[in-house]
């Protein structure tokens, strides 16, 4: 410690690092808080979407059960195999608090009667109702998948941001503050030593002049 002779420029450099780290800490805390708010907003949407999904599933199973009872299994399978066009799912992206999250859009899910492939003659509205119920169920599944994927990405980003905030708050900033204190104390010691040597030099000079 006695051989350590820091400079004012070293102290200034450490102070600048502290200011930079404090600003980064504040920004990351704001980002973390914003991400948490966004997460809970998506969570509410996801809960609603999940409830809708469960309701659509119940309805679809009921409609299918009625269709099977009325038309028979063979007629249902024939109608299912008559499908012409499959639903088209497109995945886009958007930026949410600095996190790239998916935006899922689906087309050709809900179809008109003439788009389902099976003939109108020879089938009843029971099959139509079952088909529509499962189309609505598929839309609900896509929506739930989108919301839950967004939630996972937000959770990952929240966790990563939390770790960076903690690193700055509990490791980097304390270490920088400790270094600042050590440099400050050593500079004060050196200043006192210089003052003592100067006074001693003046005293010796005065004694020599008198002699």
Q: What is the CATH number of the domain that holds 127?
A: 1.10.287.3240
125: in domain: yes
In a domain, 97, yes or no: yes
Strand, helix or coil for residue 144: helix
C-alpha gyration radius of the chain: 36
- For residue 13, give both structure tokens: 């450099």
Contact 129, 76 (CB under 8 A): no
Count: domains in the chain: 1
Q: What is the mean pLDDT of the chain?
A: 87
Task: Indicate whether 93 belongs to any domain.
Answer: yes
Query: pLDDT per residue over 92-119, tens digit each?
Result: 999 988 899 988 888 767 776 666 666 5
Q: What is the pLDDT of residues 61-75, one digit of tens each?
A: 999 999 999 888 888
What is the percent of the chain where pLDDT is above 70?
A: 88
Residue 117 belongs to some domain of the structure: yes
- Residue 19 above 90 pLDDT? yes
Domain that holds residue 93: 8-199
How much is the pTM? Answer: 0.76
Q: Classify residue 208: in a domain, yes or no.
A: no
What are residue 113's phi and psi, to 5 degrees?
-55, -40
């Amino acid at each position: 410690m006695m051989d350590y002779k820091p400079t004012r420029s070293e102290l200034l450099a450490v102070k600048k690092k502290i200011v930079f780290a404090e600003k980064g800490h504040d920004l990351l805390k704001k980002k973390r808080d914003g991400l948490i708010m966004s997460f809970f907003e998506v969570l509410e949407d996801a809960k609603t979407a999940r409830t809708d999904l469960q309701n659509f599933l119940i309805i679809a199973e009921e409609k299918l059960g009625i269709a099977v009872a009325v038309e028979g299994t063979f007629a249902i399978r024939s109608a299912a195999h008559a499908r012409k066009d499959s639903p088209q799912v497109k995945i886009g992206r958007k930026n949410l608090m600095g996190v790239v999250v998916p935006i899922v859009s689906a087309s050709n899910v809900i179809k008109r009667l003439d788009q389902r492939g099976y003939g109108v003659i020879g089938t009843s509205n029971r099959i139509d109702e079952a088909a529509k119920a499962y189309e609505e169920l598929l839309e609900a599944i896509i929506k739930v998948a989108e919301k839950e994927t967004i939630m996972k990405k937000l959770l990952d980003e929240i966790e990563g941001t939390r770790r960076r905030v903690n690193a700055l708050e509990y490791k980097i900033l304390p270490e920088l503050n400790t270094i600042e204190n050590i440099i400050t104390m050593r500079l004060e010691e050196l200043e006192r030593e210089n003052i003592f040597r100067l006074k001693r030099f003046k005293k010796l000079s005065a004694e020599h002049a008198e002699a």
